[in-house]
Chain A
Amino acid sequence: MATVGLKCPECGSLDIVDDEHYSQPQLVCADCGAVVSEGLLTTTRSEETQGTDVRYSNSTEVDKKPCRNLINGIHRVRALCRILRLTFLMEETAETHFKQAYEHPNFIRVSLQKKEVLAGCCVLATCRQHSWPIAMGTICCLLEANPRLIGVVYQEMVKTLKIEAPPTSIINLLETHCQAYKLSPQHVHEELSESSKDLTKRAAVLLELAADAWLVTGRQPIPILTASIFLAWQSLKPTQTRLKYTLARFCQMAKVTKSSIAPKRVTELKEVLCKLGQELPWLRGDEVTPQTVIQMVDDILNHRLTLLRRALSSHEEALASESPDTGSVQQQGDHSQPSVPNSGKRSLFEPPSVRYAKIRRVQVPVVEVTGDEEISDSEIDSYIRTPQEIRDYVEAKEALASSDDEL
């Protein structure tokens, strides 16, 4: 029975059924076959989309198309891979990561900016997985995005996809970084040119020395790379021409961006070299200054282990001779720092953050409190305005508001 109460006009039967004549729905009497009523032959578009049982988007008629942002993102990933000249396998991996991350609930609703950055982060993760040395700064420049945002998105992505992406070690970054310096004979004057291979080799030794001397841990890698390459270049051929070059000029010549931090690293590295250079036996105790040390870098690096040993022993001797003196001074009472000095201070090299420790604010002595003490009324009253103060405050605010209105 299709509908209750419908009677066939021909035979009076109550047996009306729903029948369709091809696509046209009809109500037909089951006894005599008379058509009681019929529906429309065609449907409107709104009926098609809204009147069906199965949703249009779920039906097989609709081809599941990836959203536009996903397509753009994949293009971006591919473009980045091609700029960086990654292998085909790495490109595929990066794309897979991106698709997985994009469709994950953590990322499907983030801002467009983050989705753009996500592409770069996938490329970065892929490079790390395949031990391809690349700095986060590179991705930053390619995407022209905030490094902090990249950091945030990268860490979230790694956590979401649960991928193991070991960070690149700085020595691997060095070779990549070195190749960016345009110092071949076709780019610069012959006297200033240097082959990439020699430069890398010398810079690697300098970098290892810097790492031993705590100049690398915890700091941005790129300035220290720039500094080691600069000193390597100067020391490979320490002519007056090269020595006159400042770091800024060197970067300009090699067509590399200069950084404000690299000069500080150069100074620090020169200090380390001076400490070692001091131990060279043929100097016979002459002072080694940062200006004169460059000529000696060759010798210093060739014999650095011996020099380190000697420097350590002379440092220990110096400390041993110092300590009986300091012991007596301290008995007299001094206003030195209340904290015990870091044992790193007593060794030859210590991290700069230890050597130049910030002067701490005087610690307020912790008062022992139970948490359930009585709270005095006077103390609480001191935090509450008097009625006069409130009136003054309201008046002042009104005066300010009216003067603003006049303006």
Chain B
Amino acid sequence: MEQNNSLPPFQGLASPQGAMTPGMPIFSPMMPYGSGLTPQPVTNTNSLSLLEEQHRQQQQHSGQTPQLYHSQTVTTTTLPGNTPLYTTTPLTPMTPITPATPASESSGIVPQLQNIVSTVNLGCKLDLKTIALRARNAEYNPKRFAAVIMRIREPRTTALIFSSGKMVCTGAKSEEQSRLAARKYARVVQKLGFPAKFLDFKIQNMVGSCDVKFPIRLEGLVLTHQQFSSYEPELFPGLIYRMIKPRIVLLIFVSGKVVLTGAKVRGEIYEAFENIYPILKGFRKTT
């Protein structure tokens, strides 16, 4: 890629989707670099939310329908970049570990656990070929993966059983179910003739999800909580929020659905949700 400035611009370059490299002249004053075009944290100029505010106030105070040619008190957008697209609140100066939560009542929404991943040590070496041969619910493809994949119906879970005797159990909806499932797998392996034990059962990861029931402005959230959030619509439609205390990763979507993962205990998920709920409420836009 040894190109110099004398090459005519963009010739020969494939222009597939996304190649909007502009044919703008260099150093032109119109060129969009520098200040002025980054969304600044200013007061609300989001037309829809402002209208809803006014609407609500009018409904409360007068109860009349608004006049047709009501003088518009809001600024209309002119050129791009002069008005920010989304409402933002001023950035907090410090870097809080926990997002600041006002002393309000709890959300009333309880996240549901969707998946628990746990591990256990069966304490003996296993012959995977024998297990795959003699068990009905096992699959083993050594070229693809070096473990037996076993499934049971109740609780509906999947286990990866390794030749070292270690096992990973996934798919349970609660800690107790995960433990019961792991015990059942251990019992199957026992019945197949191996001296399996049940050592060091540990929950490694818990995933929960819930719905806050209102749409969320992700662009606003990423601006105010930049140090925690990552929002790349070109890569993934949701915002990835890495909470530090408790150490949970949240996937927040525009529909209001939230997925929480990375917890070792149930309480971390609940705590993380209680922390994020007031923040999300701040980005609620509907009446």
Q: Using a CB–CB distance below 8 Å, which chain A residues touch chain B?
A: 75-76, 79-80, 82-85, 87, 130-133, 135-138, 140-142, 147-148, 151, 155, 164, 166-167, 169-177, 179-180, 200-201, 204-205, 207-208, 211-214, 217-222, 225, 255-259, 281, 304-306, 308-310, 312-313, 339-340, 342-344, 346-347, 349-351, 353-354, 357, 364, 366-367, 369-373, 375, 379-385, 389-390, 393-394
The closest CB in chain A to the CB of B133 belongs to A390
Q: What does the 1/0 interface line of B221-257 toward A look like (CB < 8 Å)?
A: 0110010001111111110000000000000011110
Q: Which residues of B contact A (CB under 8 A)?
A: 1-5, 9-10, 13-24, 26, 32-35, 37-39, 46-48, 51-52, 54-55, 65-66, 68-70, 72, 74, 76-81, 84-86, 133-137, 152, 154-156, 173-180, 183-184, 187-188, 191-192, 211, 213-219, 222-223, 226, 230-238, 253-256, 286-287
Q: A172-B32, A179-B23 are in contact. Are A351 and B85 (CB under 8 A)?
A: no
- Asked if residues B173 and A366 are in contact (CB atoms below 8 Å), the reply is yes
Residues of the B chain whose Cβ atoms lie less than 8 Å from the Cβ of A383: 135-137, 152, 188
Interchain residue pairs with CB less than 8 A apart (10) = A82-B5, A137-B234, A205-B77, A212-B48, A213-B48, A366-B174, A369-B174, A371-B177, A384-B192, A385-B134
CB distance from A259 to the nearest CB of B (A): 5
Contact: B20 with A179, CB < 8 Å? Answer: yes
CA distance in complex: A131, B31 (Å):
11
B216 CB to closest chain A CB (Å) equals 8
CB contacts (< 8 Å) of A135 on chain B: these are: 18, 20, 234
Across-interface contacts of B192 in A (CB, < 8 A): 384
List of 8 A-B pairs having minimum Cβ-Cβ separation, nearest first: A137-B18, A179-B22, A371-B179, A371-B176, A218-B237, A218-B254, A212-B48, A79-B1
**Residue contact A138 to B18, C-beta cutoff 8 Å:** yes
The answer to whether A371 touches B18 (Cβ under 8 A) is no
Question: A218 near B233 (CB under 8 angstroms)?
Answer: yes
Q: B26's closest neighbor in chain A, by CB?
A: A85
Partner of A147, one of B54, B137, B174, B234: B234
Q: Once the chains bind, are A344 and B81 in contact (CB under 8 Å)?
A: no
Known contacts A133-B37, A354-B215, A384-B135; A370/B230 CB under 8 A: no
Known: A308-B48, A380-B187. 5 other contacts (CB 8 A): A164-B226, A217-B254, A309-B51, A375-B180, A383-B137
Given the complex of chains A and B, what is the CA–CA distance between A372 and B182 in angstroms?
A: 11
- Smallest CB gap from B192: residue in A: A384
Q: Which residue of B lies closest to A169 (CB)?
A: B39
When chains A and B are docked, how far (Å) is the Cα of A384 from the Cα of B22? 66
A385 touches B226 (CB 8 A): no
B1's nearest neighbour on chain A, judged by CB, is: A79
- CB pair A179–B232 under 8 Å, yes or no, is no
- The reply to whether B34 and A344 contact each other, CB–CB distance below 8 Å, is no
Contact between B17 and A137 (Cβ–Cβ < 8 Å)? yes
Contact at B3–A82, with CB atoms within 8 Å? yes
- How far is the CB of B206 from the nearest CB of chain A, in Å? 14
* Residues of A close to B180: CB separation below 8 A: 369-373, 375
Considering residues B21, B35, B66, B214, which has the most beta carbons from chain A within 10 angstroms of its beta carbon? B21
B111 to chain A, nearest CB (A): 13
Cβ 8 A contact of B230, one of A155, A312, A346: A155
Q: How far is the CB of B220 from chain A (nearest CB, A)?
A: 9
Cα-based distance from A259 to B234 in the complex (angstroms): 14
Bound state CA distance, A183 and B120, in angstroms? 65
Task: Enumerate chain B residues within 8 angstroms of A85, measured Cβ to Cβ.
Answer: 9, 24, 26
B232 touching A151 by the CB < 8 A rule? yes
CB distance from B75 to the nearest CB of A (A): 10
Given known A-B contacts A180-B21, A342-B255, A309 and B55 have beta carbons under 8 A apart:
yes
**A83-B47 CB under 8 A given contacts A170-B85, A218-B218:** no
Contact B51 A312 (CB under 8 A): yes
**A342/B32 in contact, CB under 8 A:** no
A136 touches B232 (CB 8 A): yes
Please determine whether B215 and A350 come into contact, CB atoms closer than 8 angstroms: yes
Q: A175 to B136, Cβ gap below 8 A?
A: no
Given contacts A255-B15, A312-B55, A346-B286, contact A174 B215 (CB under 8 A): no
Q: Are B38 and A222 in contact (CB under 8 A)?
A: no
Residues of A within 8 A of B78 (CB): 201
Contact B20 A138 (CB under 8 A): yes
**A80 CA to B26 CA in the complex, in Å?**
15
Partner of B1, one of A76, A222, A340, A364: A76
